Structure 1
Amino acid sequence: MRVYHYLPRPRVNGYACYPDSFGHYYDEPNHRENRSADQCPVWNLHLITKGKGYVIQGDRKTALGAGTGFLYYPHMPQRYEADPEDPWEFRWVHFEGAGISSLFNNADRDEVWLFSWKGTKRLPELLDELLAYGNDFVHEYERRISVLLYEIIVELIHESESLHAGRTSLLRQKMLQTADWIHANCRGTITLKDMAEISGYSEYYVSREFHRVMGVSPVEYLLECRIVQAKHLLASTDWTMKRISEWLGFSQSSYFIRKFRESQGITPDQFRKLGRDEYTIQK
């Protein structure tokens, strides 16, 4: 059984992502796809809930079953098929979106992404909700469909596990734990050596891997955390710049002011004044 839903182009431009089609396959022992790269201009996500099938890359054939899935990036050749003895059941969605590529900035675009979603029940629930919008589509559904698809993608990125990640998955978890530690301790004096000791890796290695996972270096992330704390203090206290900078671990107040301005485009004093002007207007 094959269920297809095709959507018209959205009336509003600028959605971070939007599906052009989605559906549901089951009881299809002869299901087989073999597409060239020029036939695949969109993202292609499959979430397997029952049965078994195979993703084929060159001469490598990977078996996938319930609780797993795969994602092809745009303009990739695609080859996959059901197991004829125990054909898979899956939800699928083809989608576009300029705002999606940045979420996968560390992905290997030459390989289909194979993953396990066993750690989250929300993915199939979200995809089922998306499928429901295809039954009686009206344009008023556009915003919800776009938001729902974005939620599916974010859930996929943060809660699924790459099937062949191995050490990569452990490294990612370590870097996220290091980021949480930096955020919790950003008010003190923290060095790259401290971050390396928390992560369990060398300074060079933690710098490289942290940047790969978080998109910024650990030192840049520390600064981001301190700027966030500074904004809170500027809005909620009358502390001087000197006191704020010392409390946050900056070596000098002039350095704090410069970094704040580079980050926010205005000085700390201007930020404080803007916050208080807004409060006065609302009051």
Structure 2
Amino acid sequence: MRINHFVPHPRFERFLCYPESFGHYSKEPEHYENRPNGLTTYNWHIVRAGKGYVRIGDELVELQSGTGFLYGPCVPQLYYSDSSEPWDVRWIHFTARGLGAILQGRGEREPWLFSWTGVIRLDQLWSELLNSNIPPMQEEAVRLSAITYEMINLIVQHAETIEGIPKPGMRDKLAEAADWIRVHCCEPLTLEHMASQASCSPSHFSRQFHSLIGKTPIAYLIECRILQSKVLLVSTSMTVKHIAERIGFGNSSYFIQTFRKSEGVTPEQFRTLRGTSNN
């Protein structure tokens, strides 16, 4: 079974993302794609059953139910179904003009391989996409863009990058570690402290955390501290120096520099703009 839908260009050209085509292949042992120059769009597949293969450099990676892959524009593509146990895949080719901050470079140099097991909403959205009216009127175009946007956000937030076979429950451990970091962010934390919350080595923790959260543990820690500083700036009369010490920065100069880089203003300017009387 091969289902292919091709979508006309929308009249509104500024959607953050929009499908160019999408479909569903099942029980197709001869499904084989080799595109040395890739596509001009992103190419995203999820595997729902069976198995298939994706080539990354000289390595051939087997993908089974609950996994998937994403190619960025112009990235060479080679993937195919297993002949004896052909995969059941849902796929979409889409543009993503405004999603750089969300995708964080995924699929830009080589295919991003991931596990999406347990993300039930993702499969529901894919079914909704396949049942969409084609060709769309303007209202339907908005819905197609919204479905695509939600799907991309779900996979970025909940998928685990495949490095061999992901450890069961790693996503939950990382989420719990992120919550722990947020609660204890004002304490003098190191990468080793944070990694211990997920029971893994600092290097492995850093890679997996970045994959799930979209930033390194240290960057996330700083973000949590900046959020805490905002609360103190607008709700107390504490000095900037005292706030820097309270939230875990070594000195006020580094705090001011980091705050300005994050927010575009100094802590004192933020206090003036967002103080209690200005809310």
Does the CA contact (< 8 Å) of 2:133 and 2:140 recur in 1? Answer: no
Equivalent positions of 1:51-200 (< 5 A) are: 52-55=50-53, 57=55, 64-82=63-81, 87-100=86-99, 102-105=101-104, 107=106, 111-135=110-134, 137-166=136-165, 178-191=177-190, 194-195=193-194
- Per the TM alignment, residue 94 of structure 1 is displaced from its structure 2 partner at its CA by 0.7
- Give 2:265's aligned amino acid: I
The structure-2 alpha-carbon separation of the partners of 1:37 and 1:96, relative to structure 1 and needing over 3 Å to count, comes to farther
Checking the alignment, whether the CA contact within 8 Å between 1:199 and 1:206 is kept in structure 2 is no
Once the two structures are overlaid, the 10-residue window that deviates more, 92-101 or 68-77, is: 68-77
Task: State how far apart, in whole Å, the 1-side matches of 2:135 and 2:96 are.
Answer: 23
Residues 43 and 255 of structure 1: CA distance in aligned 2, closer, same or farther (over 3 Å): closer
8 A Cα contact 1:53 1:80, kept in partner: no
What code does the residue aligned with 1:91 have?
R
TM-score by length of 2: 0.75
* Structure 2 letter corresponding to 1:131: L
Instruction: Determine which structure has more spread, i.e. the larger CA radius of gyration.
Output: 1
How far 1:164 moved relative to its partner? 4.6
Moved more, 105-114 or 154-163: 105-114
* CA–CA distance in structure 2, aligned partners of residues 196 and 122 of structure 1: 29
Instruction: State the TM-score, normalizing by the size of structure 1.
Output: 0.75
The residue matched to 1:186 in structure 2 has which SS? coil
Identity of aligned residues (%): 38
Mapping of 1:220-259 within 5 angstroms?
A: 220-253=219-252, 255-259=254-258
How far off is 1:174 after superposition?
Answer: 6.7
More helix by share: 1
Shift of 1:114: 4.0
Q: Deviations over 1:148-182 (max 9, x none)?
A: 21221222233234455337999887766554433
- Count of aligned pairs between the two proteins: 276
Aligned AA for 2:151?
I
- The alignment partner of 1:189 has SS state of coil
| Aligned-CA RMSD value | 3.8
* Structure 1: gaps (5+ residues): none
Query: Distance in 1 between the 2:60 and 2:222 partners?
Result: 45
Amino acid at match of 2:53: V
Moved more, 237-246 or 58-67: 58-67
